[in-house]
Amino acid sequence: MRISTKFIETGMRLTRPIYGRNGETLLNRGTTLTTQYIMSLRRHGILTVNIDSGFEEDFSDALEDIVRCSVMKKVQHEIMVNRNRISIKNITNQVEMLIDEIISGKKIIGNLTEICSADMYTYAHSVDVCTLSLMLGIRLNYKKDKLLQLGTGCLLHDLGKTKVLPEILNKPGVLDSAEFSEIKKHPLYGYKMLLDNNEDIDPESANIVLDHHEKYDGSGYPRGLKGQEIAEMSVICAVADVYNAITTDRIYRRAMPPHEVYEMIMASGNMMFEQRVVEAFLKCIVPYNIGSIVRLSNGFVGRVCRLNPSLPLRPIIRLLDSREEINLVQEKSIVINGLLQHEDIIKEEIDRALEKVGSFKFRQDFTAI
Ligand SMILES: [Fe+2]
Ligand SMILES: [Fe+2]
């Protein structure tokens, strides 16, 4: 899990190496943090690190930024420049790189100065959906050839959006019915683009592009397929797609907090998505990030300091006031009422500071009498 260096503690274990400004390795993967290491990281201006969250697989930890960025650029090049002559070979090469990166956790690309611009949402989305889908495929014991089919379909799943007008795609307000039905054509547009121009596209990959908006209960589009009519690889892409879309900020909507998305996906088994895929998916994501501030049902506010892998919705919370730790697995009557946003946290801190000043003043008045 990637967390801010503000929240790192001694004993946490790194799941990714940390590099300095010139690309030199500061700390290796697997290092356990000590007070000295923590001070040195802060001195080097390192803002985030990847630590072991106790989860077997953790999506936020799967790729180094540099790999994600490089794949995004290659996919963008294929989709925007080659467009109707996409090289499936180039796409599968990228998928292979992602698979290697996920499985081995090794660093593949050396260029640390590559920067991705913010206007690359579609490509970041495609790479994230592909990464998450590959992790799911690995968890479901897919072999390499199936992972390549899955990854290729997922990298290209929204290809058809290049045929939809940007004014519709990026409209900040609610879409009217004509606009919505235009958006709903993108799976078919993408499928046709692939079949018309690429003999080497695998039919399984092309089907992912066509069926990634189908739903288990038949309410999806474009074909309205139901249950087992939808291939498992398309279901994998669909869950990853929904998860990534709603956990990312867009012009027309704020990102939903991870714990709400987690609960939503948990409730979607055999309604939106096949149960088996939902169960595998829930093992790849975490509902609460270490360091996030939560309000508890007993009125206290605390920071998530550790996770319970067997019960991800019941983490260990350290109270902001007393620094006492509450393990929500043991304290069954206490629940998390919500995540605090940045503005709420500042307000909470001001209130607590005022309370302290108040009690100090009271003590002074008291002793003065
Ligand atoms: Fe889509
Ligand atoms: Fe998508």
Interval 283-338: pLDDT, tens: 888 788 888 888 899 988 898 888 887 888 889 999 988 889 999 989 989 988 88
Distance CA 239, CA 264 (A): 11
Query: How many A from CA of 160 to the centre of ligand 2?
Result: 10
**Torsional sign, CA 230, 233, 234, 240:** positive
Q: Choose from 9-13, 117-121, 283-287 the range with maximum mean pLDDT.
A: 9-13
Distance CA 31, CA 17 (A): 8
Average pLDDT over residues 29-46: 83
Q: What angle do CA 323, 329, 333 make, to 5 degrees?
A: 85
Listed range (32-41, 80-89, 236-245, 329-338) with the worst mean pLDDT: 80-89
Give me 250's structure tokens: 């867009």
Query: How many A from CA of 241 to the centre of ligand 1?
Result: 7
Position 117 scores a pLDDT of 45
Confidence category of residue 118, pLDDT binned at 50, 70, 90 = very low
The CATH architecture one would assign to domain 59-282 is Orthogonal Bundle (1.10)
For the stretch 140-197, pLDDT in tens is: 999 999 999 999 999 999 989 888 888 888 787 888 999 999 999 999 999 999 898 7
**The pLDDT of residue 109 is above 50:** no
Residue 319: CB atoms within 10 Å: 15
Distance CA 263, CA 314 (A): 12
Residues of the chain with CATH 1.10.3210.10: 59-282
Distance CA 264, CA 269 (A): 10
Ligand found nearest the CA of 222: 1
Query: How many A from CA of 245 to the centre of ligand 2?
Result: 7
- Strands (DSSP E) contained in the chain are 2-4, 18-19, 25-27, 48-50, 293-296, 301-306, 316-319, 325-327, 336-339
Query: How many A from CA of 193 to the centre of ligand 2?
Result: 16
Position 247 scores a pLDDT of 81
Listed range (15-19, 85-89, 178-182, 270-274) with the worst mean pLDDT: 15-19
Average pLDDT over residues 125-142: 90
**Beta strand 316-319 with 325-327: parallel, antiparallel or unpaired?**
antiparallel
Position 111 scores a pLDDT of 30
Distance CA 191, CA 329 (A): 47
Position 347 scores a pLDDT of 66
Query: How many A from CA of 30 to the centre of ligand 1?
Result: 37
Residues of the chain with CATH 3.90.105.10: 2-50
39 contact partners, CB below 8 Å, separation of at least 6? none
Helix pair 88-104, 144-155: axis angle to 10 deg: 120
Position 107 scores a pLDDT of 36
Position 152 scores a pLDDT of 93
The torsion angles phi and psi of 339, rounded to 5 degrees, stand at: -85, 145
Helices (H), the chain: 35-43, 65-76, 88-104, 121-139, 144-155, 166-169, 177-183, 186-197, 203-211, 232-246, 258-266, 275-282, 342-368
Query: How many A from CA of 289 to the centre of ligand 2?
Result: 24
Query: How many A from CA of 194 to the centre of ligand 2?
Result: 16
Query: How many A from CA of 126 to the centre of ligand 1?
Result: 10
Half-sphere exposure of 251 (CA within 13 A, CB side): 12
Confidence category of residue 365, pLDDT binned at 50, 70, 90 = very low
Ligand found nearest the CA of 128: 2
Asked if residues 232 and 277 have their Cβ atoms less than 8 Å apart, the reply is yes
What is the percent of the chain with per-residue pLDDT over 70, rounded to a whole number?
81
Half-sphere exposure of 296 (CA within 13 A, CB side): 24
Backbone conformation region of residue 231, classed left if phi is above 0, alpha if psi is from -120 to 50, else beta: beta
Confidence category of residue 359, pLDDT binned at 50, 70, 90 = low
Listed range (83-92, 133-142, 243-252, 306-315) with the worst mean pLDDT: 243-252
Which residue is it, tokens 């994600």? 68
Average pLDDT, the chain: 81
Q: By CB neighbour count within 10 A (0-12 exposed, 13-18 middle, 19+ buried), where does 11 fall?
A: exposed
Position 108 scores a pLDDT of 33
Query: How many A from CA of 198 to the centre of ligand 1?
Result: 20
The better pLDDT of the pair 57, 331 is held by 331
Confidence category of residue 352, pLDDT binned at 50, 70, 90 = low
Position 29 scores a pLDDT of 78
Ligand found nearest the CA of 245: 2
**The pLDDT of residue 58 is above 60:** no
Asked if residues 235 and 274 have their Cβ atoms less than 8 Å apart, the reply is yes
**The pLDDT of residue 258 is above 70:** yes
Chain-centre distance for alpha carbon 4: 16
Chain-centre distance for alpha carbon 146: 23
The better pLDDT of the pair 55, 201 is held by 201
Query: How many A from CA of 158 to the centre of ligand 1?
Result: 5
Nearest to 291 by CA among 62, 41, 53, 29: 53
Query: How many A from CA of 211 to the centre of ligand 1?
Result: 9
CATH number for the domain running over 2-50: 3.90.105.10
The torsion angles phi and psi of 136, rounded to 5 degrees, stand at: -65, -45
Ligand found nearest the CA of 160: 1
Position 257 scores a pLDDT of 78
Position 173 scores a pLDDT of 80
